[in-house]
Structure 1
């Protein structure tokens, strides 16, 4: 099999790539990376020295592709399927990329700030101000989404795409650390629509055995 995804099933950014692969039933080999295990870590660093997953390798084309948005662009270009992640229309494309970046930068990153603070070894190592800022940023992001989702089925309109692949992972974990609550019905409805996708259901089912590793508040 030409494609190999180096990943961990609990990683939110890995979910984004997996959703894209599963949406189009793209054949690939899943290679689980355990950064806490020296041999697994060393093998992964040989693939991508920065040590950030997911990374897609393509043996047929001799390519190593990091970064989730780039991975989905690569799949669009070289392994296209029924779901086109970024529209060919350039006006629609920049809007799709805008919301892809929105979820990565304004939902995933503050969520990860909160989670990473939970696993710091001592209270002295924690960053309460940074966590408070991350929580505030998430609340602002939820407000933006509640406005923007009016009249939309998916983030690019009526067609599932790149931004929706980015949305599910961030929203899934963000709601656990900083819930959006009952006052944002459009965000809640969008999240429920995302969970009806077979690709999403598969990703969540594969991650479930690892959920106990998620740090509780």
Structure 2
């Protein structure tokens, strides 16, 4: 039985799971979650506590939360794909960076998007500025971190987390020109074949981006 992934092509966390599947060259069925496919939404709603995608169905097992899906893929389907290091200490370091991208890039980016969804004509700009400030601080930290990060030969959990979060964060709050390492790395991530597949699959939905999708990427 093939794996089944429930999510949406424009969803950053769906990308995170899909990048891992593409990188490991694992065949899977994709089931879009939208108003036209209520049966797919029902699977998601009955899986996690808040009914959020992505959800991976592997036989009788359902996994929610994108990081857990990537770990499940690495453990049960692609142990040699390089998604997680075999060394426990190195794996802990990779997991730490995964949390950096989820909590300090994805979260403030999503908070800005949510504010524009809440009040498209009158977003609370104080809230928006606070989240942009958090992104600036994280961008600065990542710029320094990249000075010692050796690009891996394969896609790891770090790249799975970094690519979608930086893709959308730069739309919400552009990375400053002075952060050359971070800008180059973002471009490198988007050029990786497993990531490029997600970028292309999401193109038809760009008009729905609440802040307006920039004419790039």
Contact map agreement 1:153 1:159 (CA 8 A) in 2: no
Structure 1 unaligned runs (5+)?
A: none
With over 3 angstroms needed to count, the CA separation of the structure-2 counterparts of 1:150 and 1:159, relative to structure 1, is: farther
Aligned to 2:75: 77
Structure 2 unaligned runs (5+)?
A: 213-217
Aligned to 1:147: 144
Distance in 1, matches of 2:77 and 2:40, equals 28
Name which of 138, 153, 159 aligns with 1:164.
159
With over 3 angstroms needed to count, the CA separation of the structure-2 counterparts of 1:41 and 1:84, relative to structure 1, is: same
Aligned to 2:133: 136
Contact map agreement 1:106 1:138 (CA 8 A) in 2: yes
Name which of 180, 184, 195 aligns with 1:185.
180
Is 2:93 aligned against 1:95?
A: yes
- What value does the CA root-mean-square deviation take over the aligned residues? 2.0
Distance in 2, matches of 1:30 and 1:159, equals 23
Shift of 1:160: 3.2
Contact map agreement 1:24 1:81 (CA 8 A) in 2: no
Contact map agreement 2:82 2:156 (CA 8 A) in 1: yes
> Which aligned pairs between 1:1-217 and structure 2 lie closer than 5 A?
1-34=1-34, 40-48=40-48, 50-59=50-59, 62-80=60-78, 82-121=80-119, 126-154=123-151, 160-216=155-211
Local SS of the residue matching 1:119: helix
1:120-141 CA-to-partner distances (Å, cap 9, x unmatched) read 24656x4333222111110000
Count of aligned pairs between the two proteins:
212
What TM-score do you get using the length of structure 1 for normalisation? 0.90
Distance in 2, matches of 1:118 and 1:87, equals 39
What TM-score do you get using the length of structure 2 for normalisation? 0.90
With over 3 angstroms needed to count, the CA separation of the structure-2 counterparts of 1:108 and 1:122, relative to structure 1, is: closer
